Amino acid sequence: MISNCGLKQAGLVLAAVSGGADSLALLHFLRGSGYPLLVASFNHRLRPEADADVAHVQRIAKALGLPFVTDSADVAAHAEAEGLSIEEAARDLRYHFLFREARKAGAQAVATGHTADDQAETVLMHFLRGAGLAGLKGMPPRVILPVFDAEIPLVRPLLAWTRAQTEAYCHKHSLDYLNDSTNADTTYFRNRLRHELLPQLKAYNPQIRQTLTRSALALQSDFELLNELVDSAWAKVVTASESGFVAFDLPQLRELSPALRRSLFRRAALTLRPGLRDIDFDALERAASLKALDLAGGLKTIIERNVLYVTGDETDLPINQLQISNQYSVFSHQALPAPVPPAQVSGGAAEVEGRLSSYEIALENGWVLTCETLNNENRLRNTEDWSQNTDNWSAMLDADLTAGRLNLRPFRAGDQFEQLGMPRQTVKLSDLFVNLKIPKRLRKNWPVLCVDDEIAWVVGLRMAQRFRVTEKTRQILKLDLKRLP
């Protein structure tokens, strides 16, 4: 009996073969079942006999008349470079090879020889690491692993077989299988479970392996049910899901149970980090408390007003009409050129609807500041309209008070100014940020337009009282800050 993997009879299957009893039984069984096969063997370079093992698999493939592919990599070096265990590094490199070859060959699936013994060890390993339902359900017979391939599934046809059965199968069919010497090395966590812990547990329950595999099978059904609930909740509370973040509606998130929140955060983490494995239950439990904290895999939760973000980098978070993100860092200190005098305007002193001059200043990362000098003669009755500008990305200042002295810079600690309409009331810019609920991540690079050292415009937020347009203003300096698409 094989696990239901949904394989199509005519579709090519890439069989991952190491030369051990499990993988040779898999290869022979799939071939006998009529599936077209591609044999793939990966050399981890961890044992002196590794080259000979790959050559052994190649001879078997040739004897069976099957195509064969192989590759190798320095697993130990990869583990050190990426901060992984040897087991994790080996799996990472091996699976990248398998799915790469499957994609090249047009295979319908990658098949591995995982057995019921592997399942029992996996469930126990996840239990000891504190995994939730997602870990305790063990390995499904068919799964998509997006970090390796978003379409080609990994299938495990022998999950219902025991290791003893694969060995008996090989003996029956005269398959010369190899014994991996590293399987006895108890410095590896899984091997310690296999050779030390499981024999002890067997003293308490002689059927411990069968119990663990049955539990995994039952929990897989529960996990499918939970996934349906998570799908429904995800559609309700996730307001955005991009490459760098997942955004949750915080009020609606608060209405859900902690258990459902844990599952949502787990899905968010896997959405952003598809390669994550064994997300710690305690981390999910902390995240379910709806506080800003570290989650897993370099991810963290950030709360801004009624939104909770899961992200790995604050600079990936979105901006809206009243926010400038740190990722732009556009406002390194720079002096701005003075407006062009009317006599130098192209065409002489000609005006277009009162415009005396107009020019653009290209800033960093696509931001552009447009500056216009407007004639205020015969417009005194509209002075109040000029000073009551409601577009926070546009400012109108008295040109005579600002000419030749403008500079644009980021916010500095201690900045303060008099807001438009609030004379003789100095406010700290840090307090203004708090009052307007500007996220902390955005404050340090917030743009401030100054006349010499005095703030004239907190871009996107407030103009200063002193540089406002009044009935005495002769010329108006109109500023617009925009980011090009």
Residue-averaged pLDDT of the chain = 84
199 burial class (0-12, 13-18, 19+ CB within 10 angstroms)?
exposed
**Would 322 be classed as within a structural domain?**
no
CATH code of residue 122: 3.40.50.620
Let me know whether 311 and 411 are in one domain: no
pLDDT of the residue at 390: 58
Q: How far is CA 249 from CA 240, 304, 312, in A?
A: 9, 10, 18
The answer to whether residue 233 sits within a structural domain is no
pLDDT tens, residue by residue, 408-455: 888 888 898 988 888 888 899 889 888 887 877 778 778 888 988 899
More confident residue, 357 or 190: 190
Give the Å distances, CA to CA, from 171 to 25, 65, 174: 10, 21, 5
Residues 309 and 442 in one domain: no
Q: Is the pLDDT of residue 18 over 70?
A: yes
Name the nearest CA neighbour of 394 among 375, 414, 420: 420
Residues 311 and 338 occupy one common structural domain: no
DSSP string, 433-470: HHHTT--HHHHTT-EEEEETTEEEEETTTEEBSTT---
Task: Give the pLDDT of residue 7.
Answer: 93
- What is the per-residue pLDDT for 382? 47
Question: Phi and psi for 418 in degrees, rounded to 5?
Answer: -95, 120
What pLDDT digit, counting tens, does each position of 132-185 carry?
788 889 999 999 998 899 999 999 999 999 999 999 999 999 999 988 777 778
Same domain, 53 and 93: yes
Q: What pLDDT sits at residue 389?
A: 53
Share above pLDDT 90 across residues of the chain, in percent, rounded to a whole number: 42
Task: Report how far residue 40's alpha carbon sits from residue 71's, in angstroms, rounded to the nearest whole number.
Answer: 9
In a domain, 174, yes or no: yes
In a domain, 155, yes or no: yes
pLDDT of residue 75: 92
pLDDT at res. 33: 93
Beta-ladder partners of 477: 373, 397
Answer yes or no: is pLDDT of 70 > 90: yes
Last residue of a domain, one of 180, 204, 228: 204
Q: Let me know if residue 156 belongs to a domain.
A: yes
311 in the same domain as 357? no
Residues 42 and 156 both lie in one domain: yes
Number of domains, the chain: 3
Q: Per-residue confidence at 407, pLDDT binned at 50, 70, 90? A: confident
Instruction: Indicate if 71 and 168 belong to the same structural domain.
Output: yes
- Whole-number pLDDT of residue 333: 60
- Does residue 344 have a pLDDT over 50? no
Q: What is the pLDDT of residue 371?
A: 83
Look at residue 391 in the predicted model and tell me its pLDDT.
64
132 and 186 in a single domain? The answer is yes
Q: Are residues 165 and 20 in the same domain?
A: yes
Q: What share of the chain in percent tops pLDDT 70?
A: 85
Least confident of 174-178, 325-329, 363-367, 397-401: 325-329
Give me the pLDDT at residue 365, please. Answer: 62
Mean of pLDDT values over 305-310: 88
CA distance 272 to 267: 9
The structure tokens listed for 460 are: 């996107």
User: Between 258-272 and 208-237, two packed helices, what is the crossing angle to 10 degrees?
Assistant: 90
pLDDT reading at 201 higher than 60: yes
Give the pLDDT band (50/70/90) at residue 25.
Answer: very high
**Model confidence band, residue 399 (pLDDT cutoffs 50, 70, 90):** confident
Q: Is residue 100 part of a domain?
A: yes
Whether residue 280 contacts residue 293, with contact meaning beta carbons closer than 8 Å, is answered with no
pLDDT at residue 335 above 70?
A: no
**Structural domain containing residue 312:** 238-316
Q: Considering only 87-101, 121-135, 336-350, which range has the smallest mean pLDDT?
A: 336-350
Task: Give the pLDDT score at 319.
Answer: 61
The span from the CA of 386 to the CA of 86, in Å, is: 68
As a 3-state breakdown, the chain gives helix, strand, coil percent values, each rounded to 5, of 40, 20, 40
190 and 289 share one domain: no
pLDDT at residue number 338: 58
| pLDDT score, position 308 | 92
Q: What's the pTM value of the predicted model, to 2 decimals?
A: 0.66
pLDDT at 69: 97
Is 2 inside a domain boundary? no
3 state SS for 307-340: EEEEECCHHHCCCCCCCCCCCCCCCCCEECCCCC
pLDDT above 50: residue 345: no
Contact 397, 468 (CB under 8 A): yes
Q: Is residue 383 part of a domain?
A: yes
- Does the pLDDT of residue 357 top 80, yes or no? no
pLDDT at 379 over 60: no
| Helix axes of 21-32 and 163-172: crossing angle, nearest 10 degrees | 60
- What average pLDDT does range 241-246 have in this prediction? 88
Q: What is the pLDDT of residue 364?
A: 64
Query: 368 and 475 share a domain?
Result: yes
User: What CATH number did the domain enclosing 287 receive?
Assistant: 3.30.465.60
Higher pLDDT, 205 or 48: 205
SS3 419: strand
250-282 pLDDT tens trace: 999 999 999 999 999 999 988 888 777 667 778
Residues 339 and 441 placed together within one structural domain of the fold: yes
> Which tens digits make up the pLDDT trace of 474-485?
888 888 887 666
Mean pLDDT of 21-29: 96
